[in-house]
């Protein structure tokens, strides 16, 4: 990988880390507000909504904590010169994949294989993007002037 692409990946990793940390601090403020509100007696609907919100925030934070760990690992790999190398097969990870998921540890084929083994694989069923220029609209209520 050339130096420019490596610097671009590093910049994107740092940006994503910053975004996650901003969301984390916003989450902390929300949880503090919920704790303060929960001190006041409420009806069951309010209590249920607060409980749901707290659980959602906890789940999001766990996902984000894992992503932060992966980002930090990727940043260490950049410093050590091991960034962009698949941890499974040792092949170079494609630049397109690194641009999409800059903290990825695996090339696309190894990631797919691991997803199949773990049961999280979601196959593509040949979905083709729908192009809007292929749409023809005929409306009777609009006439030519």
Mean pLDDT by 10 residues, the chain (145 residues): 93 92 75 64 60 64 82 93 95 95 94 86 58 60 55
Per-residue pLDDT at 66: 84
Rg (CA), the chain: 23
Q: Which two tokens stand for residue 91?
A: 């092949």
CA separation for the pair 99, 118 (Å, rounded): 24
At the top level of CATH, the class of 3-122 is mainly alpha
Per-residue pLDDT at 23: 79
Per-residue pLDDT at 10: 95
Nearest 10 degrees: CA dihedral of 98, 102, 107, 109?
Answer: -90
């Amino acid at each position: 990988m050339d130096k420019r692409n490596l610097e671009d990946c590093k910049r994107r990793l740092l940006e994503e880390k910053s975004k996650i940390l901003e969301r984390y601090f916003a989450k902390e403020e929300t949880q503090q507000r919920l704790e303060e509100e929960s001190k006041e007696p409420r009806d069951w609907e309010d209590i249920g909504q607060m409980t749901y919100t707290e659980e959602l925030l906890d789940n999001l934070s766990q996902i984000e904590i894992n992503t932060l760990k992966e980002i930090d690992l990727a940043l260490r790999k950049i410093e050590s010169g091991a960034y962009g190398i698949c941890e499974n097969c040792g092949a170079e990870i494609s630049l397109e994949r690194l641009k999409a998921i800059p903290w990825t540890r695996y090339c696309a084929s190894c990631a797919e294989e691991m997803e199949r083994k773990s049961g999280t694989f979601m196959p593509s069923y040949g979905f083709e993007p729908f192009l809007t220029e292929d749409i023809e609209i005929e409306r009777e209520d609009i006439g030519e002037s």
